[in-house]
Structure 1
């Protein structure tokens, strides 16, 4: 029961909380608002609402709006330069995981010299310590998918080498997070499902992770319960406010799992797929490989009780076997209409599976070290082959 615990983010959670942003002591005088290159943040009025809050608070701002669904290093560097040119002294990530992740990376490079990849570990990253503390980050999430609003992590792709790698340390925690389910009512059904499963897997991976402990377990099981019982409702009816709120809470708790425990190799394998095929939504890739991935661990002696506990959290109250969790997972994918996703639809070729596995080990090999039992490269190849459609 000896542990260290550190989640320094102040959290405003609940319906209408964005309207309280102007009442908060914000960490600077001019914000860089980081949003995606898509239309939804503006079209749904979310950018307008944030701008209104900043005006009420007497805060100036500039908007950087080029972030892709799978963020790239070029935009991190460009966004950081934009922040410096505009004299921004803090960063607001507004949107889904890609915008908030990018906000954190931009905050690092707005205060530090060199290239972002100088500070990234894995692959061709140099793994250097960050000399100067990043700009403060405020996270305002419009999706329930990554939990990045309450964790320090950010994921970026280096385009020329097709490396998709996570980065983060205690200084990249947002200082303030706003989780307002009202901002999630417009997320389409397919993206609601993809994002919800990403949050679910942050929790399941964190629960079977070798670094799991009492605090991460508490967050993980509650997140699994909330998402397992409510995601299909949010997929079927995006205007279901209660379901949206519960999935949002599950997602934020999943971010706390990421802050206390962490991901396993499931994320390494998916990052390799979407590094080569950036049109593949991260959550969709995780869904594709999840049945085979968890079936592998369910067949080991490492964490049977944990799989049974996850099955019970998903709603199988009489679960007695690790495969009960896999069954519950597949059932949820069916009712969320994502059980027939195909790798081939995104250009993934079965004959290239070994390439993806090697990339996973090269870029994010550290996650394999926290798997409950070691996964060999042959095991990974079989998992991807069994997942291929």
Structure 2
């Protein structure tokens, strides 16, 4: 089945369908860009799709720079270097092109383009967002090449503070890209392992938003349907990377997860953030491994909600156990390791991880307010594979 090409205007202008990347120069021009900077990661920088995007901009009279010095967990130094490249090249807009790391870095670079304060002054704490000089920001067109973070429809970036060994969330409402292009043809070359890890990241966003105790019925509806799409299409995308329908539906489910988590995230992310900072591990893989252990820890608070979700997903058993069995079966079928020890993370830092998790911004919307010892216990269970 050939995917549809459609335009949506929620939560921003979203252009969906195969081949929509051809419209990139037009959308850059619509935002007033004359010299965009394409921000991507080192793995994509030399790929034909990046060369083609830049060539299309050049042909349309838009000289297009390239910045790709971004780590898998982007750092404050990466953002500073990107801002320097943007200013030196006299660029007036950003094309955020790639996976979550590139998109997060690109949005932070666009935010910082004309700021006088340092990056960490805009951490999502209290009313720090009021410090932003909005006139100093430049517009962003976001082009995701993975279906996981949904950063293309997010109003924040997760950036690692290497000096403090923590991930910080940089936030401003205007960080939401003005135009998003969801072109499934750009994701067909993603390896099965990364398709699986990023897809489980999308599931974690939808699931944690759904499980949050805060009142936001619209987010709940989006999250539930996002999880149905993942159930139906993630195995297909992993098994056949050129399945355009599956690729497009996963891009949509990823964007839905990031839209839904305005309701909040939870313990998966509260743990994944410090683990990513300490071990430089892939964020999606961390969430994928942590998922069943956090579900088990939250069971007493979310049992009724999970039963309703299992019923909507048409699982064989509309029960907490039925949902857990589905999660475990999905992980196994797409090659996700069962425990953190399988990716080289051991429990000797449990106390530190617990202390970092309890103060992470995502902890505040977990269904149960775990203390540091509680987070350390979940982490240790995930290391050992103990459910």
- CA change 1:84–1:354 in 2 (3 A) is same
Aligned to 2:4: none
Residue 14 of structure 1: CA displacement?
A: 1.2
- Comparing 105-114 with 46-55, which one deviates more in the overlay? 46-55
Q: Give the corresponding residue for 1:35.
A: 40
Q: Distance in 1 between matches of 2:236 and 2:291?
A: 21
Task: Classify the secondary structure of the residue corresponding to 2:68.
Answer: strand
- 2:161 aligned residue: 158
**Is 1:264 aligned with 2:266?**
yes
Cα distance in 2 between the residues matched to 1:156 and 1:273: 13
Instruction: Select the residue among 175, 178, 186 that pairs with 2:178.
Output: 175
Structure 2: runs of 5+ lacking an equivalent: 1-8
Change (3 A) 1:276 1:238: same
TM-score (norm: length of structure 1): 0.90
Stretches of structure 1 lacking an aligned partner (at least 5 in a row): 1-5
1:285-364 alignment runs, 5 A limit: 285-298=286-299, 300=300, 302-316=301-315, 318-319=317-318, 321-343=319-341, 345-346=343-344, 348-362=345-359, 364=360
* Distance in 2 separating the partners of 1:21 and 1:28: 11
Change (3 A) 1:30 1:8: farther
Please state how far the C-alpha of 1:71 moved relative to its aligned partner: 0.4
Kept after mapping to 2: 8 A contact 1:91/1:136: yes
Tell me by how many angstroms 1:221 deviates: 0.7
Q: Which runs of 4+ in 1 moved over 6 A?
A: none
**Alpha-carbon distance between aligned partners in 2 of 1:382 and 1:79, rounded to the nearest angstrom:** 39
Taking a change above 3 Å as real, the CA distance of residues 315 and 8 of structure 1, as seen in their structure-2 partners, is closer
- How far does the alpha carbon of each residue in 1:89-128 deviate from its partner, in whole angstroms, 9 at most, with x for none? 1111100011111011111111101321121146xx9946
Matched, 1:59 2:58: no
Q: For 1:129, what is the secondary structure of its paired residue?
A: helix
Answer whether contact 1:143 1:184 (CA < 8 A) is retained. Answer: yes
Cα–Cα, structure 1 residues 345 and 334, in superposed 2: closer, same or farther, change >3 Å? closer
Give me the whole-angstrom Cα distance separating, in 1, the residues matched to 2:378 and 2:32.
45
C-alpha displacement at 1:53, in angstroms? 2.9
In the alignment, which residue of structure 1 is the partner of 2:3? none
Distance across 1 between alignment mates of 2:58 and 2:312: 44
Deviation of 1:376 after TM superposition, in Å, equals 2.4
CA contact (8 A) 2:339 2:383 kept: no
Among 365, 368, 375, the residue aligned to 2:370: 375
TM-score of the superposition, structure 2-length normalised? 0.91
The answer as to whether partners of 1:120 and 1:126 remain within 8 angstroms in 2 is no
Q: CA deviation at 1:197?
A: 0.5
